[in-house]
Amino acid sequence: MHPALSVIFFTAVSGTGYGLVFLIGLAFAIDPLACDPFVALLATACGAVLAAAGLTSSTLHLGQPLRAWRAFSQWRSSWLSREGVAAVLCFVPTIALGVLVWRHYPALAGDASDISTASLLRLTGAALAAGAVVTVFCTARIYTSLKTIAAWHNSYVLPGYLLLGLLGGAVTLWTIDALASGDSAPWLQRGVPAVVALCAIAGAALKRAYWRFIDSPRPASTIESATGLGRFGSVRGVEAPHTEENYLTHEMGFVLARKHSARLRQIAALLFAAAPVALVVLATVLPSARVGLSCAIVALVGVTVGTFVERWLFFAEAKHVVMLYYAGTRDRAEG
């Protein structure tokens, strides 16, 4: 599949944004007093901006972006529509949490004993965490629901989206926390880098299994079933319908990635998994604010670039079943 930059940016950046607000929401749901209010505000704002940037980028992919509002209408059948609805609905608890933290800033920052809205904060946090998970779930289901693309229609893709979104969010929160040198509860300050390391390890294991899965295809469809001519023997294309490229060969017949896929997979795993794990270990071994901040920033850059490479491969390596019709004739058209 053709890897459109706008869609790669959308899935990677909005995934990170929702991962970030998920963690903030979760922290408030567990203990409204755990998170430093400045860190909470900054992270919530950051998450909202990332999610909004991702959504805006996804509309750049559209042929008629001014009609994008129509995409909220078909949530009963379409995962893309559900994703749009969930993404917009998720802004409600995001903004609500931001407003609540802003209003109760002194209470949250100082003497916490007189805070009266603890349960409301808890509830908003829980709603935000749930909303973020639902939105990324819907994003992934857009791809996993396509039976025509075996590399997407499998059980590795959905957890991959959730895990890498969480990883991106955790590493961003780690950086924000280190930058603000906030006064969060110790379990939260130590927990965030731990989440980074765990997500990185789990993400690497999952992607490894995924790549192994797509490398051993068990195709349900073949050129024989696509043409129905298998009853007469094996089928080979001799002439394509058109001498030039068309929309299908552009969009579904992207072949550039496969040449360097092994190398690119290594680069992706190194950046989004190995680098953050090493940096979390380094920051734990050398507990100084400056080392912590440097580690967090380098890990953030690594995870961001690594996730982009991973997402590029996700699109570029995926083969669409329609290309069966062009089997044997495509190479000649290109050569």
**C-beta neighbour count of 46 within 10 angstroms:** 20
Question: In whole angstroms, how close is the CB of 258 to other proteins at the nearest point?
Answer: 19
Q: Which is nearer to other proteins, 4 or 270 (by Cβ)?
A: 4
Give, in order, the Cα–Cα distances in Å from 92 to each of 96, 127, 132, 210, 317. Answer: 6, 9, 11, 34, 36
Quick one: which of 213, 237, 278, 333 contacts other proteins (CB under 8 A)? 237
| 145 is a contact residue toward other proteins (CB under 8 A) | yes
x/- mask, other proteins, residues 45-64, rule CB under 8 A, reads ----------------xxxx
The binder of other proteins chosen from 49, 112, 179, 229 (CB under 8 A): 229
Q: Contact between 233 and other proteins (CB under 8 A)?
A: yes
Contact 202, 166 (CB under 8 A): no
Tell me the closest approach of the beta carbon of residue 55 to other proteins, in angstroms: 13
Shortest Cβ 332–other proteins spacing (Å): 12
Q: Which stretch binds other proteins (CB under 8 A): 28-36, 74-82, 210-218, 280-288?
A: 74-82
Radius of gyration of the chain (CA): 23
In whole angstroms, how close is the CB of 133 to other proteins at the nearest point?
21
What are the Cα distances from residue 312, in Å, to 3, 97, 147, 273, 325?
6, 33, 20, 16, 25
> What DSSP string runs through 116-179?
S-HHHHHHHHHHHHHHHHHHHHHHHHHHHT-TT-TTTSSTTHHHHHHHHHHHHHHHHHHHHHHH
Q: Which is nearer to other proteins, 117 or 225 (CB)?
A: 225
Q: Between 246 and 266, whose beta carbon lies closer to other proteins?
A: 246
246 binds other proteins (CB under 8 A): yes
Tokens in use for 244?
A: 């030039």
- Considering only residues 306 to 335 of the shown chain, the ones binding other proteins according to CB under 8 A are 320-322, 325-326, 329
- Binding-site member from 18, 22, 28, 79 for other proteins (CB under 8 A): 79
Pick 75 or 105: Cβ nearer other proteins:
75
Distance, in Å, from the CA atom of 108 to the CA atom of 300, rounded to the nearest integer, reads 28
Nearer to other proteins, 114 or 244 (CB): 244
Task: Give the residue from 164, 142, 138 showing the smallest Cα distance to 153.
Answer: 142
The footprint of other proteins on residues 255-284 (CB under 8 A) is none
- Taking CB under 8 A as the rule, does residue 76 contact other proteins? yes
Query: Which of 299, 303, 314 shows the shortest CA–CA distance to 264?
Result: 314
Which CB atom, from 270 or from 322, has the smaller least distance to other proteins? 322
295, 241 Cβ separation under 8 angstroms: no
Task: Report the residue from 8, 21, 97, 149 that binds other proteins according to the rule CB under 8 A.
Answer: 149
Binding residue for other proteins, selected from 23, 235, 271, 309, defined by CB under 8 A: 235
Output the six-digit token pair for 56.
Answer: 């805006």
Torsion from C-alpha of 216, 220, 226, 229, nearest 10 degrees: 100
Residues at the site binding other proteins, with contacts judged by CB under 8 A: 1, 61-65, 67-68, 70-74, 76-81, 84, 142, 145-149, 220-221, 223, 225-229, 231-242, 244-248, 250-252, 320-322, 325-326, 329
